[in-house]
Structure 1
Amino acid sequence: MTRILAISDPGTLADALAVLRRGQPVAVPTETVYGLAADATDPAAITSIYETKGRPRFNPLIAHVADIDMAKLHVQFSPLAEQLAEAFWPGPLTLVLPLSETSQIHPLATAGLGTAAIRMPQGFARELIAGFGKPLAAPSANRSGRVSPTTAQHVADDLDGRIELILDGGRCRVGVESTILAVNGSQLQLLRPGGIPVEMIEAATGKSVDRPAPPAGDAAVIAPGMLASHYAPDARVRLNVSEIMPGEALIKFGALPVEGEDQAKAVMDLSPTGDLREAAANLFGMLKQADASAPRGIAVAAVPEHGLGEAINDRLKRAAAPRPPV
Structure 2
Amino acid sequence: MDTRTLSLNDPHAEAEAVRVLAAGGLVALPTETVYGLAGDATRGESVARIFEAKGRPSFNPLIAHVSDREMARRIARFDASAERLADLFWPGPLTLVLPLEEGSPVHPLALAGLSSVAVRMPRGAASDIIAKLGRPLAAPSANASGRVSATSAGEVRRTLGGRIELILDGGLCALGLESTILKVEADGIRLLRPGALTVEEVEAATGAQILAASGGGIEAPGQMSSHYAPSGRVRLGARNVEPGEHFLAFGPQEVPGAGEAAALVNLSEAGDLREAAAGLFAALAGFDDPAIERIAVAPIPERGLGQAINDRLRRAAAPRE
Residue deviations 1:73-122 (CA, integer Å, cap 9, x gap) = 11011111011001000000000000111311111111121100000001
Partner of 2:193: 192
Partner of 1:160: 161
Partner of 1:104: 105
Q: Structure 1 residue 255: deviation in Å? A: 2.1
Partner of 1:308: 305
**Contact 2:199/2:304, CA 8 A, preserved across alignment:** yes
User: Which sections of structure 2, spanning at least 5 residues, go unmatched?
Assistant: none
| Aligned counterparts, 1:85-234, within 5 A | 85-185=86-186, 187-215=188-216, 220-234=217-231
Could you tell me how far apart the structure 2 residues matched to 1:255 and 1:268 are?
A: 12
Could you tell me how far apart the structure 1 residues matched to 2:240 and 2:52 are?
A: 40
User: Which sections of structure 1, spanning at least 5 residues, go unmatched?
Assistant: none
Could you tell me how far apart the structure 2 residues matched to 1:233 and 1:189 are?
A: 29
**Structural RMSD (CA):** 1.1
Could you tell me how far apart the structure 1 residues matched to 2:307 and 2:291 are?
A: 28
**Contact 1:173/1:281, CA 8 A, preserved across alignment:** yes
For 1:250, give the aligned amino acid: F
| Aligned counterparts, 1:199-278, within 5 A | 199-215=200-216, 220-278=217-275
**Contact 2:232/2:289, CA 8 A, preserved across alignment:** no
Could you tell me how far apart the structure 2 residues matched to 1:280 and 1:191 are?
A: 18
Could you tell me how far apart the structure 1 residues matched to 2:196 and 2:53 are?
A: 25
Farther off after superposition, 252-261 or 116-125: 252-261
Q: Secondary structure at the match of 2:285?
A: helix
Structure 1 consecutive aligned stretches of length 4 or more whose deviation exceeds 4 Å: none
Change (3 A) 1:245 1:304: same
- Normalised by the size of structure 1, how large is the TM-score? 0.96
For 1:268, give the aligned amino acid: V
**Contact 1:214/1:226, CA 8 A, preserved across alignment:** no
For 1:156, give the aligned amino acid: R
For 2:314, give the aligned amino acid: K
- Normalised by the size of structure 2, how large is the TM-score? 0.98
Q: Structure 1 residue 258: deviation in Å? A: 1.2
Could you tell me how far apart the structure 2 residues matched to 1:123 and 1:51 are?
A: 27
Q: Structure 1 residue 186: deviation in Å? A: 5.2
Q: Structure 1 residue 232: deviation in Å? A: 0.4
For 1:228, give the aligned amino acid: S
Q: Structure 1 residue 290: deviation in Å? A: 2.3
**Contact 1:237/1:298, CA 8 A, preserved across alignment:** yes
Q: Percent identity?
A: 56
